[in-house]
């Protein structure tokens, strides 16, 4: 196996870049992961670091020349321009950040904070890129002199880092925040362990709170709790963060102590997490981001007082200080989140592994991926030829930033149950006024302009020649066009039932807010919403009784 290296262009729209199917991020190389077992521990680490930088020098070497002289490139509008590609950002987890910047593990890859001050809310001077380049220029001279300069500068003795010769580059400035590994699987992992420890609320109480959370479309349910989870993924960490404040808000600390400071610290970090993921920022949102960080540092001592944590000198805690400046310089964090490359790793690397059936055979994987790219390029060529062969006057898909879209209803092709009697709708689903609502709907369809008492009379006199209707147990709402449709919400209606093992599944009836032109907004349960079942069935009934 090998470490994949992905490259993308900074001015590609984020809505395109974050979709693996659009291939805005390109897999350009694999860096070998040889363990070099024949060397000692210290020599092996230095050799692996030198191997990493040597491989990236080969991959990114052309940037050195073209960044200075420029290269002709054609844009999406068909115009050729002279472009100067430069190395802008390095996106990776903390170990890769330390490896790329040649800093020691446990130090910040962006500033000169000492390891025993990582937990403080203070600003420190940044690493000096020019000074580092000067130190690494001594690598061609005496070995002792070079190692002494690296030791004095606090840097690893790497033989010519890959970024040393790049134009207009500051590697320490180019290190970007990472929502997936720094926040979700770093800071939030620590926070979850703090609040679930015996010194705080305890695992039993937290798991019990998880088990009584009602289901919701935007909530991941943890029916067995969260304290017994192992190898928690980024998606699961997101799900825990959505419910974490609700799990602890009413719980007392041991010895009946007030949990006020704990709740403030938890809320501050959660607010920071969600503010950091905004897709657009203003001066006000960045100020609020810093305020959240200040509130956490003001209340973090509660975990020390409870005996849960001795110190907060973690690089990922300290990295929160650099989010505001990085967002100001490079844009929102979804531009450089490793979650995108993780998705590519799943789609390409693991698919290649399954296709080749070789655990350590890197050439077979690269050959398979090369063939896959050729097949995709050929499919695009065929599609473009077919589009050229179509008649003129066909609609052209607009380009540019995506426009805001409205939500639309999405129903399954077939109902969940084909026939449910009126008695079961009344008894099992709780829609006690179903027949009255159906009669009113049929009367309104047959007599569009009627209202008031006349509508009520027509509804009472409407003959319904059937005693059962199909029922849908789920309604989905999507946002976007047909190509990029995204499910933004869903409603469930389900009476009590049993699974194949005879275990009882409790009923679920979500709440819906129904907007009608004549009545405005009415709060009614999804029982009544679903009892109005669907437009198609009512229209058929209107035709029958018309």
- What pLDDT was estimated at residue 107? 94
Tokens of 280: 């657009």
Q: Are 115 and 206 in a shared domain? A: no
pLDDT at position 137: 93
Contact of 491 with 510, CB cutoff 8 Å = yes
pLDDT at 524: 39
**Same domain for 330 and 192?**
yes
Domain membership of residue 370 (yes or no) is no
* Residue 166 shares a structural domain with residue 195: no
Domain end (from 148, 175, 202): 175
- Whether residue 397 is contained in a domain is answered as no
Q: Is residue 374 part of a domain?
A: no
Distance from C-alpha of 74 to C-alpha of 104, rounded to nearest angstrom? 42
211 and 268 within one domain: yes
Same domain, 165 and 209: no
Residue 541 has a pLDDT of 39
In this structure, the answer to whether residues 187 and 296 fall within a common structural domain is yes
* Residue that finishes a domain, picked among 302, 335, 368: 335
Question: Is 104 domain-assigned?
Answer: yes
Query: Domain for residue 354, yes or no?
Result: no
* 419 and 319 part of one domain: no
541 belongs to a structural domain: yes
**Domain identity same for 323 and 202:** yes
Give strand ranges (E) for 8-146. Answer: 26-32, 71-74, 80-83
The pLDDT of residue 99 is 94
3-state secondary structure 499-532: CCCCCEECCEECEEEEEECCCEEEEEEHHHHHHC
384, part of any domain? no
Which pLDDT value is given to residue 129? Answer: 95
Mean pLDDT by 10 residues, the chain (546 residues): 80 75 77 80 89 91 87 83 90 93 94 94 94 93 92 93 91 94 93 94 93 84 89 91 92 89 96 94 95 96 93 94 94 85 63 55 61 76 76 48 64 91 90 89 87 86 89 86 70 88 86 64 39 39 37
252 plus 330 within the same structural domain: yes
Q: Which of 250, 280, 275 shows the shortest CA–CA distance to 262?
A: 250
Rounded distance between C-alpha atoms, residue 445 and residue 448, angstroms = 6
Which token pair is 269? Answer: 């970090």
In a domain, 394, yes or no: no
Rounded CA separation 271/178 (Å) = 16
Provide the domain limits for residue 137.
34-175
Q: Where are the beta strands (DSSP E) in 60-207?
A: 71-74, 80-83
Neighbouring CB atoms inside 10 A of 233's CB total 13
User: How much is the pLDDT for 171?
Assistant: 95
Among the candidates 309, 335, 361, a domain finishes at 335
Beta strands 80-83 and 71-74 are: antiparallel
Asked if 150 and 191 sit in the same domain, the reply is no
Structural domains of the chain, count:
3
- 150 and 184 part of one domain: no
- In this structure, the answer to whether residues 469 and 496 fall within a common structural domain is yes
pLDDT in the model for residue 354:
57
């Amino acid at each position: 196996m090998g470490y994949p290296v992905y490259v993308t262009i900074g001015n590609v729209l984020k809505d395109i870049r974050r979709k693996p199917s659009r291939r805005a991020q390109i897999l350009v190389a694999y860096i070998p992961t040889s363990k070099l077992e024949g060397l000692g521990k210290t020599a092996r680490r230095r050799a692996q670091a030198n191997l990493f930088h040597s491989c990236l020098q080969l991959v990114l070497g052309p940037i050195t020349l073209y960044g200075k002289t420029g290269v002709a490139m054609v844009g999406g509008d068909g115009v050729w321009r002279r472009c100067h590609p430069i190395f802008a950002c390095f996106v990776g987890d903390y170990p890769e950040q330390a490896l790329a910047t040649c800093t020691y593990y446990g130090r910040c890859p962006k500033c000169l904070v000492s390891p025993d001050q990582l937990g403080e809310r203070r600003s420190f001077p940044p690493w000096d890129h020019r000074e580092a380049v000067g130190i690494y220029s001594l690598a061609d001279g005496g070995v002792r002199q070079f190692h002494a300069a690296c030791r004095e500068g606090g840097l690893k003795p790497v033989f010519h880092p890959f970024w040393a010769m790049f134009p207009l580059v500051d590697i320490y400035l180019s290190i970007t925040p990472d929502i997936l590994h720094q926040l979700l699987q770093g800071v939030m992992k620590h926070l979850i362990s703090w609040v679930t420890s015996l010194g705080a609320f305890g695992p039993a109480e937290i798991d019990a709170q998880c088990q009584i959370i009602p289901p919701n479309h935007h909530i991941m349910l943890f029916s067995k709790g969260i304290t017994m989870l192992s190898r928690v993924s980024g998606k699961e960490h997101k799900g825990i963060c959505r419910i974490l404040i609700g799990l602890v808000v009413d719980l007392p600390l041991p010895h009946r102590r007030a949990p006020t400071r704990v709740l403030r610290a938890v809320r501050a970090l959660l607010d920071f997490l969600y503010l950091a993921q905004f897709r657009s920022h203003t001066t006000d949102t960045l100020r609020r981001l810093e305020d959240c960080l200040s509130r956490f540092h003001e209340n973090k001592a509660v975990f020390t007082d409870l005996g849960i944590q001795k110190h907060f000198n973690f690089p990922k805690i300290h990295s929160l200080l650099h989010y505001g400046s990085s967002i100001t310089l490079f844009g929102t964090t979804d531009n450089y989140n490793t979650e995108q490359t993780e998705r590519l790793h799943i789609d390409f690397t693991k698919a290649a592994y399954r296709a080749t059936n070789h655990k350590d055979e890197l050439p077979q994987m690269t050959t398979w991926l090369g063939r896959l790219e050729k097949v995709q390029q050929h499919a695009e060529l065929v599609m473009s030829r077919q589009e050229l062969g179509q008649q003129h006057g066909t609609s052209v898909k607009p380009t540019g930033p995506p426009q805001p879209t409205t939500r639309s209803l999405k129903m399954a092709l077939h109902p969940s149950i084909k026939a449910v009697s009126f008695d079961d709708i009344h008894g099992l689903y709780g829609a006690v006024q179903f027949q009255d609502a159906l009669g009113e709907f049929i009367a309104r369809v047959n007599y569009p302009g009627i209202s008031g008492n006349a509508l009520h009379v027509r509804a009472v006199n409407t003959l319904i020649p059937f005693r059962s209707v199909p029922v849908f147990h789920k309604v989905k709402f999507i946002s976007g066009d047909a190509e990029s449709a995204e499910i933004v919400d869903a409603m469930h209606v389900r009476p009590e039932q049993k699974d194949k093992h005879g275990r009882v599944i409790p009923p679920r009836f979500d709440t819906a807010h129904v907007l009608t032109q004549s009545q405005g907004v009415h709060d009614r349960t999804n029982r009544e919403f679903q009892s109005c079942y669907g437009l198609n069935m009512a229209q058929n009934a209107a035709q029958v009784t018309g």
